[in-house]
Amino acid sequence: MRALYKAISVPRVRRASSKGGGGYTCQSGSGWDEFTKRLTGECLGWMRQQR
């Protein structure tokens, strides 16, 4: 599960940082928390689709 999460998070993080979000570079503050929540939500949705 954790490996799957990492595999999904890496490309998405690159995409987010290229847009100027830079969520992965600053892992402190509410901005990072919001980014993590969004990522987790997308991850859960993606897993539901795979089933």
Q: What is the pLDDT of residues 4-39, one digit of tens each?
A: 666 666 655 555 444 554 545 545 556 667 778 888
13: nearest Cα among 44, 45, 43, 35: 35
C-alpha distances in angstroms, 10 versus 33, 50? 16, 19
**0.85 surpassed by pTM:** no
Domain regions of the chain by residue span: 2-50
What token pair was written down for 15? Answer: 């995409």
| First-to-last C-alpha distance (Å) of the chain | 14
| 20 phi-psi bin (left φ>0, alpha ψ -120 to 50, beta other) | left
